[in-house]
Structures are given as structure tokens and as C-alpha cells.
Amino acid sequence: MDDFVCDTLTKSGLSNLIEAFEDEGIDTESFYLLQDADIDKMIPKMGPRLKFKKLLSQLKVLPSTNDMGKRKSDQQLDSNGQQAAKRKCETNSSAETEAKILTNVRNTMGGICAMLQDDSDLNTLLKTKIKNLETETKELVGVFGKTGAGKTSLINAVLEERNLLPSGSVSACTSVMIKVEGNRHNEKYEAEIEFISPEDWEDELGSLHCIIKKGNQEVQDNVDDSDEEYHDAVDKLSALYEEEWREKSCEQLMESKYFKEIPEFFQSRSKNLIFESAKDLSADIVKYTKDSPKNKNYNKIKQWYWPLVKCVTVRVPNHPSLQHVTLVDLPGNGDRNKSRDTMWKGIVGDCSTVWVVTEVNRAAAEQESWDILKNVASQIGNGGECRHIHIVCTKSDDIDDSDVTTKAETQALILKRNAETKERVTKEFNKLDKIKKHFSDECFQVFTVSSREFFRKRDLSPEDTEIPNLQEFLQNLNDCHSETLNYVSGAHGILSLIHGASRRKEDDRIKEVFEALEKNLTLQIESITNEMMKIYNVFEEHLQEGVERSKNSYENILRSTLYPHKRDGRGFHKQLKKAVENRGVHRPKKGREMNININLTSHLADSIDEEFRTTFPNDGKCGPFKGVIYSFSLVTEELKEKYKDVELQLVSLKSEEERLKTSLNKSIRKRKKTVYRSLIKTIEETLQDCYKKAAAFTGTGTLQNMRETIENHVHGSKNTMFENAKRVMMNHLHNLMVCYF
């Protein structure tokens, strides 16, 4: 069962049917193919069966979702691209129809709002509810991958915009994040450039000069080639200032003459660009997103502004799958700049889907891709909102076909290699026990794609490139947040309240209903409270076990962290120095990050990871706190049957109940991230004094002095540090519980 089916049943007050639909494997496509006989068999009770049939008939007038049922029936089209073209045409038509429905309902509700002239309590309530019908929901799809893996080409192919984003092959990777979303306001291609602040850049200039001074030592060119931090600093300064930075002070490099083309930088506002075509946009934004490439097409560009850019948002017109979905091209390890790193962490934690892009010919064996996943696992799992992890193996058409003579043989060779790759990658993923604690088995999927073949259609059909599979995934993800469905459902509840209020009578029946609702509410809150107390006690027990294990093993953790095998002293000295200068964390451009805080928190996190995932699942099938909120129901079917004269009020109340549950679940999903992240945050804060002390060492013996400083501090704090981390997490969990109930 996919998210659309789960969310639709939940929002319609039929969450009790989720298990039955899941058992039958009902997804979006089969949902719309259900016949009366199927429904009768799957939903034996008449009440919920009639409700579901009504819901299904209503949804079928919304083509944006109904069209999904057609997609598989189009599989017989030939491979010359007709299928993809037909799908796009149908989706665009569906979006237009849905937009008309939404406009009509909005006009109706706007007319009602205009008639609510006086400020009575009821009118004020109704106007507030009508205003709250307007919601904006975005699903973030984070796209990770090393330079050259084909991230840009993948995004361009999925959006069927060959020239949208500048190809990464022209230059080295930068730390600029690129968001791609739908333009819902006009028919233009737009780019919004968000800069870091001038203050941030001035601080960074000072840091870059210090890095270069250290690297140069006494002779500027006498630099260890392995020092990537030095080369990064040179690249940043050279991109923006060419060679002038070598003779200028930080104050001089902040002069306005260097920023004439981007006056918005000093005004602390975004730069907005509008284009008629994707090609024009791509050519213009390259200087904001890529390092200066050795390419004659870019010889006219003298300044490259990517060092100043925090994020570039590209908006694409006429793209239905991007109405509620944003693709984000992300660097794998965050950034040394604080504002960029803060944005990176926020976006990563908000991603509902992660695509890890790697080349197909070394997808299973390439360590860098797995390192990316390991680095972000806790931030997207228990510390985030991720429901889907996709390993996207690119360049599937890149194969040695020198011994084959026909297109059919080439195709068979590619498809065989793709199947083998999926099997190997899945096998490797199943070895990652720590990562799997954060995710259910259903969330993981492997795709083998060819962006080049999707456009040129020489050796593979569009379907065999698997680009249409990713397109369909995005469309389904988008349709889970049908603005029309949400708005119309909310409007139905408001109209029921208005009609019910117009027929309201003060009699004993009203009192009976009120007393019945009050009794139900008391019982439901009691049930929720009891379940939360059980959860609280389980967390406390598991965390205490984690505290004891941490106390007993911290020395081993420090030994493996501070005295790694197969590392020479000089190389590790630099790594540890950078870590203590950056709050215990060193993030290289490639490979695993060094994070002393995570290592020391590992036993605490391991003790509650599985319990945390089942208590606060990201997949939305049962909701937080083991499903007690999803199962909450104030308005029962018995009440609606017994009190027909107030049925409309009860319908309105049921609609409000579902709205509140949806809002509550969303809010808890955000706040649970603070609960989970509190463990590492507390450990990090405890170690700050020793990091500052360790960072101050210079000269002979620096490495050993840093090691001993950290070891002595942790040893002196072992009896309080882990207990304090547990206490802080339990306080956050308690506050989350009492905040809502």
C-alpha cells in the first residue's frame, strides 16, 4: 500500500480500513480499479463500506488521481516515446481539470465568506475555517551523489527538460543547493538566487586566509597536495576574485566593486531571474552553481558567484508532478559555512524521499555512495522524515557491447546487467544493520536508469530506462497532497456545519449528544494517556541501558576514534585538528565524516533506535505513539445513527476531527526530530570546552595533546554526561506528550 491510499483513508475518517487495504496490496492504481464486489468482500461491515463507496465515487471526479489508474494500461504502446508523451498529456489535462474544480469550490467558499457580515462567534469560526482551507504542502526529494554520477542529467531526464540544469561534468562539485519546483504563477522559467549574508562572507574570508596561510607555511607553493581544505579555499577566492585576492586584505575584498552584478548581496535579498526557455536559464545560472569550468563556452564569465550562494531555486512551468514536490540537489556532507550548513541540515531532515545517485557499473562496490547514506542516515531516519530511500544507478546503457551485433542483443545485455546490479545493491543494503534500524524494509528500492537513452531512444525503450518509473513515483508523491481533495473535503465539513446550524434546535437531544461526545472524549484521552505512559516507561528503560553501556565502553570508542588503524600521524593530525575546530565534526568532501559526538552517542542511540522508529514512524501507516492518535474517534457511527437530527453537525465535527488529527500528526513528526537529536546535541555541548582547549594546541606534540585533552574530559564527565543526555531526551519526550494531551 502506498502513501496516497493511506492518507486518503485517514483524511476521510476510514483509517480503520488501512490494515485491510494493506493486506490486499491495494496501491493507487488498484484503488481506482476496485469494483463493488471487491469492496463488499474487503469491507464486510455496511457502515464503512457505504462510506468508502461514496468516497471512491467522489474521488473519481478528480482526474488527477483517477488518471493514475490508466498508466499501467498504456504499457502496450511502442517504445518510440508515445507512452511518455501520452502520460504527460493526460497528466497536464488532469491538472487543468482539477484546477477548474478547485477554482469553482474556492469561489463558492469565497461567496459564503463574503456573506458572513457580523462578528458573531459562529461567523468568526466559519471565516477562520474557510481561511484555513488554504494549505501549502511540499514533499522534498533529496538527491545525493558524487560529482560525475549523473545527478543533473537524472533530474533533467525525469523532468523531460534536457537543458534545464547545467551539467556537473563541466566543473567540480560545489556546496550550492539547487531546488527544482513547479512554477504555479506563470509560464516562465524562473531562478531565485539566495545568498549568504555579507557578514558571513566577511567571516569566511578571514577563515579562508588563515587556511591558506597555514597551507603556505613559509613558502606559498609548498603545500601538501592532500590538503583539500587549502585547495577549496584557493578555488573559492579565485572563482570570485580571480588572482586579485592574493594581494588584497579581507576588508579590500569586501569592496562593492566586486559585487556590481549582484547588488542584492549587500541588500540581503534574493536575486530573481526570469527566462523564456530552460536553455537560457541553464546558461545564466551556471555561474551561481558551478565552479569555473575549463570550457570555451564560459570564457566570457569573469566572476563565479557560487561561493556567495546558499541556494538556487529553479521553477519550471507546466509541470504537474512538481505542484507539491520539490527536488533538491544536495552536497553529500553539508558545508563549513554555518548558514549553508544550517540550511543543509534543515532540508535533509525534511526530505520524505532520498535518491542516492551512483554509476551502475560500480553501484554496489563504490564506498562513497554508501558513505553518503551512512552520514545522513540518522538525520533522515529517526531524526528526520524520510519514507523512501532509492539507490538510483545511472548510465545503465554504458556497457561493453563490442561482441554483440544487434539492438536486441545490446538491450538484453543491458537488462541482464541491470537485474544483477539491483540484486547486488540490495544485498549490500541489507548488511547495513545500523541504517536499517531507522527504516522499514519497504522503504528501500533500487532503480537502474539511463538519462541518455531516455532522450535518444537508440538501444532501450523509455520504459527500460526506468526514468518513467521515477516520474510515476514523483506524480504519486505529488498526488498524495491533492490540493483539490484537501480543500473540497474541508469545504464539505464547513458546509455541513452551516446547514446544521441553520436547523439547530435547543432540546434534550442536543444535551444527550453533548454528554455522549464528552463521555467519548474522556475515554479516548484516557486511552491515549495510558499508551503514552507505557511508551515513556519503555524509553526510560532502554535509555538507561544505553547509559550503562556508554559508561562501560567510552574508552573503546575513544580509542577507535582517536587512534584509528592504518592512519599516519600527519594525516590524522589534520583531520582531528579540523574536527575540534568544528565542534567535534570533520566533513571531508569524500568519504565518511569524523564525528566524535556521534561516536560517543552511539550506544544511547542504538538503545532506542528501533523503539523510536515504531513510536514515531515516518511512513504514516499508523501515525505516532503506536497509532493511538489515528485510532482516536470522537464521533462514532452509533452516534450518527442514533441522532439523525444533528447528523450534519456530527459530519462537520468528524471533518474537524480528521483535520486536527492530520495537523497533529504533522506537528509531532516535526517535533520528534528535536527529541531524537537532543542526544547528540547534549553530548556535543558537554564537550565544547575540551574542543576549544584542544584546538588551541600548536607545535610539537599537538596530536597527543589533543587526544589526551579529549580523553581526560570524557573520563571526568562519564558519570554525568550520558545521564544528562538521557534526562534531556526524556524531558523533550515528556514535553511533546503533555503539549498535546
Q: How confident is the model at residue 694 (pLDDT cuts 50, 70, 90)?
A: very high
Mean pLDDT across 682-696: 96
- The predicted pLDDT at position 81 comes to 41
From 31-45, 214-228, 569-583, the region with the lowest mean pLDDT: 214-228
Same domain, 475 and 488: no
Q: How confident is the model at residue 91 (pLDDT cuts 50, 70, 90)?
A: low
Q: How confident is the model at residue 225 (pLDDT cuts 50, 70, 90)?
A: very low
In sequence order, the 6+-apart residues with CB closer than 8 A to the CB of 628 are 527, 528, 531, 532
Give the C-alpha separation, 559 to 221, whole Å. Answer: 36
- The predicted pLDDT at position 32 comes to 77
In sequence order, the 6+-apart residues with CB closer than 8 A to the CB of 323 are 95, 182, 184, 478, 483
Q: Which amino acid would we find at residue 654?
A: K
- The predicted pLDDT at position 117 comes to 78
Give the C-alpha separation, 539 to 587, whole Å. Answer: 31
- The predicted pLDDT at position 92 comes to 56
From 219-223, 333-337, 480-484, the region with the lowest mean pLDDT: 219-223
Question: Is the pLDDT confidence value at 614 over 90?
Answer: yes
Give the C-alpha separation, 223 to 230, whole Å. Answer: 8
Q: Which of 226, 241, 267 is the last residue of a domain?
A: 267
Question: Is the pLDDT confidence value at 80 over 50?
Answer: no
Q: Is residue 92 part of a domain?
A: no
Mean pLDDT across 131-143: 85
Q: Is residue 102 part of a domain?
A: no
- The predicted pLDDT at position 301 comes to 81
- The predicted pLDDT at position 95 comes to 61
- The predicted pLDDT at position 526 comes to 92
Mean pLDDT across 251-269: 95
Q: Which amino acid would we find at residue 117?
A: Q
Cα→Cα distances 265→53, 243, 300, 408, Å: 56, 22, 22, 55
- The predicted pLDDT at position 295 comes to 58
| Three-state helix/strand/coil letters over 360-388 | HHHCCCCHHHHHHHHHHHHHHCCCCCCCE
Q: Is the distance from CB of 266 to CB of 199 less than 8 angstroms?
A: no
List pLDDT tens digits, range 177-192: 999 999 988 999 999 9
Q: Is residue 703 part of a domain?
A: yes
Same domain, 471 and 566: no
Q: Is residue 70 part of a domain?
A: no
More confident residue, 63 or 651: 651
Question: Is the pLDDT confidence value at 130 over 90?
Answer: no
Q: Is the distance from CB of 130 to CB of 112 less than 8 angstroms?
A: yes
Percent of the chain with pLDDT over 90: 49
What values do phi and psi take at 582, rounded to 5? -125, 50
From 72-81, 205-214, 636-645, 671-680, the region with the lowest mean pLDDT: 72-81
Question: Is the pLDDT confidence value at 434 over 70?
Answer: yes
Same domain, 291 and 279: yes
Q: Which of 267, 292, 322 is the last residue of a domain?
A: 267
Element (H, E) at 397: none
- The predicted pLDDT at position 56 comes to 81
- The predicted pLDDT at position 143 comes to 95
Q: How many domains does the chain have?
A: 5
Quick one: angle between helices 569-581 and 688-695, nearest 10?
A: 130
What values do phi and psi take at 196, rounded to 5? -70, 170
Give the C-alpha separation, 494 to 651, whole Å. Answer: 9
Give the C-alpha separation, 481 to 490, whole Å. Answer: 14
- The predicted pLDDT at position 593 comes to 85
- The predicted pLDDT at position 221 comes to 45
Mean pLDDT across 338-355: 90
Same domain, 640 and 556: yes
Question: Is the pLDDT confidence value at 68 over 70?
Answer: no
Identify the burial level of 496 via C-beta atoms within 10 angstroms of its C-beta, where 0-12 means exposed, 13-18 middle and 19 or more buried.
Answer: buried
Give the C-alpha separation, 379 to 681, whole Å. Answer: 13
Same domain, 454 and 494: no
In sequence order, the 6+-apart residues with CB closer than 8 A to the CB of 313 are 178, 179, 180, 181, 191, 192, 194
Same domain, 354 and 214: no
Q: Is the distance from CB of 245 to CB of 238 less than 8 angstroms?
A: yes
Average pLDDT for the chain: 85
Cα→Cα distances 121→117, 458, 660, Å: 12, 67, 20
Q: Which amino acid would we find at residue 637?
A: E
CATH for 53: 1.10.150.50
* Pairing relationship of beta strands 325-329 and 139-145 according to DSSP bridges: parallel
- Give the DSSP letter of residue 390: E
Same domain, 368 and 438: yes
Q: Is residue 73 part of a domain?
A: no
Same domain, 526 and 496: no
Residue 24 grid cell: 490486499
What values do phi and psi take at 693, rounded to 5? -65, -45
Same domain, 205 and 313: no
Give the C-alpha separation, 656 to 669, whole Å. Answer: 20
- The predicted pLDDT at position 299 comes to 66
The whole domain housing 42 covers 3-59
Residue 514 grid cell: 453533548
For residue 595, the cross-strand partners are: 585
List pLDDT tens digits, range 511-544: 888 899 999 999 999 999 999 999 999 999 999 9
Q: In terms of Cα–Cα distance, which of 347, 378, 344 is closest to 138?
A: 347
- State CA 123 to chain mean position distance: 39
- The predicted pLDDT at position 223 comes to 42
Q: Which amino acid would we find at residue 128?
A: T
Residue 312 grid cell: 538556487
Q: Is residue 555 part of a domain?
A: yes
- The predicted pLDDT at position 214 comes to 80
- The predicted pLDDT at position 121 comes to 84
DSSP characters over 200-261: HHHHHHHHHHHHHHHHHTTSTT---TT-HHHHHHHHHHHHHHTTGGGG--HHHHTSGGGGTT
Dihedral class, residue 242 (left if φ above 0, else alpha if ψ from -120 to 50, else beta): left
Mean pLDDT across 310-333: 90
DSSP characters over 439-458: S-GGGEEEEE--HHHHHH-S
Same domain, 381 and 463: yes
- The predicted pLDDT at position 347 comes to 93
Q: Is residue 276 part of a domain?
A: yes
SS3 content of the chain, % helix, strand, coil (to 5): 65, 10, 30
Q: Which of 267, 283, 303 is the last residue of a domain?
A: 267
- The predicted pLDDT at position 334 comes to 61
Give the C-alpha separation, 407 to 427, whole Å. Answer: 30
From 82-91, 310-319, 459-468, the region with the lowest mean pLDDT: 82-91
Question: Is the pLDDT confidence value at 10 over 80?
Answer: no
- The predicted pLDDT at position 8 comes to 78
Same domain, 248 and 340: no
Q: Is residue 163 part of a domain?
A: yes
Give the C-alpha separation, 161 to 149, whole Å. Answer: 18
Same domain, 614 and 705: yes
Percent of the chain with pLDDT over 70: 88
- The predicted pLDDT at position 67 comes to 40
